[in-house]
Amino acid sequence: MSHLENGRGVIVVGVDGSKSSRLALEWALRQAEVTRAKVIAVQAWVAPIDYATGGLLIPEEQWIANARASLESIVSHASAERPLVPIEQRVVAGHPATVLVNQAEGADLLVVGNRGHGAFAGALLGSVSRHVVHRAPCPVVVVPDWK
């Protein structure tokens, strides 16, 4: 791996709570264990807006706290089998595809699931993985939801 952080490779993984993102996190942790890399688990968030008033439906601080708690729970569960793999957690505001491409800058690998939680689930399934495959600054692994 060419880009190293403190002598370790870096694997960025997108986590949104979906089954496929949990599988992607598990895959990233296994890969990190084998390659002695660090995992950066990223959860992007976009607060829902009430278009009638132009205000947030949920206060931004609460939205961030909810996203952070969700990410911590998912990472805690997934990392229990691989306690020696270093994991950093990041909750970042913005569209998931853009956030993941930005977070993958300088990483050795970006890992995503093939399906996630989209506002228009039927129309956008796979849109984030398609976006990052074409725009990521590093190799991308898309983990299928076959489990």
- Please give the chain's pLDDT, 147 residues, in tens: 344 555 579 999 999 999 999 999 999 999 999 999 999 999 998 866 666 666 666 777 888 898 999 999 999 999 999 999 999 999 999 999 999 999 999 999 999 998 755 444 443 346 888 889 999 999 999 998 765
State the pTM of this model: 0.84
- 129-132: Cβ within 8 A, 24+ apart: 131/97, 131/98, 131/101, 132/14, 132/97, 132/100, 132/101, 132/104
Predicted pLDDT at 29: 98
CB-side neighbour CA atoms (13 Å) of 122: 0
| Among candidate residues 27, 63, 26, the one with its CA nearest the CA of residue 43 | 63
Structural domains in the chain, sorted by start: 4-143 (3.40.50.620)
